[in-house]
Structure 1
């Protein structure tokens, strides 16, 4: 490495996962062309990497907030492009960061522009933490509830959120830990496949979510009268059912879900309340990459024979935020929002708002993680195309993450000072 070349990550090389950083290089020759690289390994051992080529200014400096990349994983001015454009070295792999305990470690480096990788001139390591300083993490095994509770530092009181991120194959802590780092008490729960829970399920019981909500409301630092619920994909319809049938839910975020109960029958107090809307496997479209496209495989929820599956969203007493991606290839999320909005208006309801993102795919997550075009779908048993264009998807995640926090703060009001975790 050349000692006079410096690669700096500002304001600090340590930050929260959802925080932007400024990447700057100094000490290059005037107008020198260099390749910037980023590399990371997820918790499954899959390597992700990106690269972009820049030309230094007259002072031998490169600033990713100012300067455009002219080739590589992206082109143009993209301050966080090296992060969101990282791709797995293997096909159909989604970046796995389920545990909050270990940071997302990214190695940034700057190289001479040569054939191959080019000589490394400087490097720096960015530690992107999922959990802020002072946020407590408590595994929960109480009654039937299995999950992890995250609580911000300080006395509170804080608004409470139930995170239905993952419903099988383990428990994802990322979104919950980051929300707690932003001043919310968050319980993320599993439905199956975690700890001592069954590996698979054939039906879903709302009683489980009711128990989780009661547990959350009992926590000392919780100040909101009701709780918020945040979801994604299949858990979107579960969140809607929770908001429609259970009390104590003041704000629900639905992200790329369905307007009907999907895949499993839904029970409450041992009675079946909603049958499942099922998939037509013959409508799954294969592609050359080996992944399949499932956008049109879910049966039509508005067909006469499927109307019993529709969730009576007009029964929800709290506020609703519908977030949809217009290029979702998992299913037609935007169309399902239209169904719900029409139904709510027909019932004279105005307790909802919606936002949709052109060019975004199915997996909308906290920002600055690697974009995922395709990965294994547990229910389908094959890699599925998620849709989206990387740059548009990354911008959608930044906007959505801010929107979600503003929505919860506006509708989960509680007295007392709120603190914000800092790393």
Structure 2
């Protein structure tokens, strides 16, 4: 490495996972062309990496906030491009960063010339999921199995139930950094093949547990969910009182795959899948979008979630390039149905070139990976740059939506204490 060249990460080399970092290089020759790289290893040992070519200015400096990439994984001014453009070293991999206690570590480096040049400088970025003072408590009580995250301080804080299709702590603890008490629970608590039915009572228990927490000040709870978890969130809002606000992300308007029970009775039949309509591709990953049966067909109407019964607010989030299923079509249908019932308790946001997996921002875009339920690789859709921008926008939108519709009452918190 060169002693004169310095790679800086500002304002600090340690930050929250969902915070941008400014990458700057100094000490280069005037107009010198270099390659800047990022590299990380996820919890399953998969290596993700990216690179882009930059030309230093007259002072021998590069600032990714101002200077354009000339080539590599992206071109143009993209301050966080090295993060969202990272790809796995093996195909069809998703960045697994689900454990909240360990930071996501990214090594940035600067190299001579383009490609495999000598390393001139490097710096390590620790991207933390749990900020200072956030508490993490595993919960195993009754039928609840999950993890509770609470912000620093006594509150009152709004409460959010994070329904993960497959258990992950990332989104829940990042929301706790923003001032929400969040309980993350998995829709599937066993291998998907072993699950034959879903009971809404388990999620009602989780909601009630959240509302009993002493720091919680909202009279009801918010629910956030994506994919299969999103239709469970709709059902909670429709059948269980106390759900004040639902963020539905790239889900279905019907109860997908498994019968839904509540108070020992089946309340919704499953919307099934036609595997003959799955489209294989040369990449080895399949397009599943057309395999879901039509929820509006007469024989499937018993699977439609009656969201017109819900008293809370909805935020419908749909990616228009979702290759998992027709999220935009389902969102359109639900909003039309609510309007027909005289309801105005909803808003929506659509992202034209984003794919199915909308995550908290600044992780790598995942074009394809092994499907958590079907166990074969699938295409998720989305153009990396547009998808990354959608994640940044949506993350702020989620927080604004919950703050607006989960008002906190300090006297309620005092009563619990």
| TM-score strictly above 0.5 | yes
Aligned partner (choices 303, 326, 333) of residue 297 of structure 2 = 303
Distance 1:221 1:399 in 2: 28
Count residues in correspondence. Answer: 411
| Structure 1 residue 416 displacement after superposition | 4.8
Is the aligned partner of 1:51 residue 2:51?
Answer: yes
Distance 1:395 1:148 in 2: 29
Is the aligned partner of 1:7 residue 2:7?
Answer: yes
Distance 1:104 1:63 in 2: 23
Partner of 1:420: none
The one-character-per-residue Cα deviations of 1:351-403 (angstroms, maximum 9, x if unpaired) are 00000001100000100001100001133221000000000000000000000
Is the aligned partner of 1:174 residue 2:173?
Answer: no
Distance 1:45 1:166 in 2: 22
Partner of 2:29: 29
TM-aligned CA distance change 1:416 to 1:54, over 3 Å:
farther
Partner of 1:204: 198
Unaligned stretches of 5+ residues in structure 2: 412-417
| Contact persistence 1:193–1:199 (CA under 8 A) | no
| Structure 1 residue 180 displacement after superposition | 0.3
Is the aligned partner of 1:216 residue 2:210?
Answer: yes
The one-character-per-residue Cα deviations of 1:43-95 (angstroms, maximum 9, x if unpaired) are 00000000000000000000001011011011111000000000000000000
Distance 2:195 2:270 in 1: 13
Partner of 1:68: 68
TM-aligned CA distance change 1:123 to 1:218, over 3 Å:
same
Partner of 2:181: 185
Is the aligned partner of 1:370 residue 2:364?
Answer: yes
* 1:268-347 pair list within 5 angstroms: 268-347=262-341
The one-character-per-residue Cα deviations of 1:305-349 (angstroms, maximum 9, x if unpaired) are 111111111111001000000000000100000110110000000
Is the aligned partner of 1:134 residue 2:133?
Answer: yes
Is the aligned partner of 1:90 residue 2:90?
Answer: yes
| Contact persistence 2:164–2:187 (CA under 8 A) | no
| Structure 1 residue 304 displacement after superposition | 1.2
| Structure 1 residue 155 displacement after superposition | 1.3
Partner of 1:350: 344
**TM-score normalised by structure 1 residue count:** 0.96
The one-character-per-residue Cα deviations of 1:141-172 (angstroms, maximum 9, x if unpaired) are 001100000000111110000000233xxx20
Distance 2:251 2:344 in 1: 20
Distance 2:53 2:152 in 1: 42
Distance 2:351 2:187 in 1: 29
Distance 2:356 2:341 in 1: 29
User: Per the alignment, in what secondary structure is the counterpart of residue 166 of structure 1?
Assistant: strand
Partner of 1:258: 252
The one-character-per-residue Cα deviations of 1:190-239 (angstroms, maximum 9, x if unpaired) are 24446xx9972100111001100110000010000000000010011000
Distance 1:105 1:200 in 2: 35
User: Per the alignment, in what secondary structure is the counterpart of residue 138 of structure 2?
Assistant: strand
| Contact persistence 1:148–1:188 (CA under 8 A) | yes
Partner of 1:163: 162
Is the aligned partner of 1:18 residue 2:12?
Answer: no
Partner of 1:406: 400
Partner of 2:222: 228
Distance 1:392 1:199 in 2: 34
List structure 1 segments (4+ residues) > 6 angstroms apart after TM superposition. Answer: none
Distance 2:171 2:391 in 1: 12
| Contact persistence 1:204–1:264 (CA under 8 A) | yes
User: Per the alignment, in what secondary structure is the counterpart of residue 159 of structure 1?
Assistant: strand
Distance 1:146 1:336 in 2: 30
Distance 1:378 1:395 in 2: 25
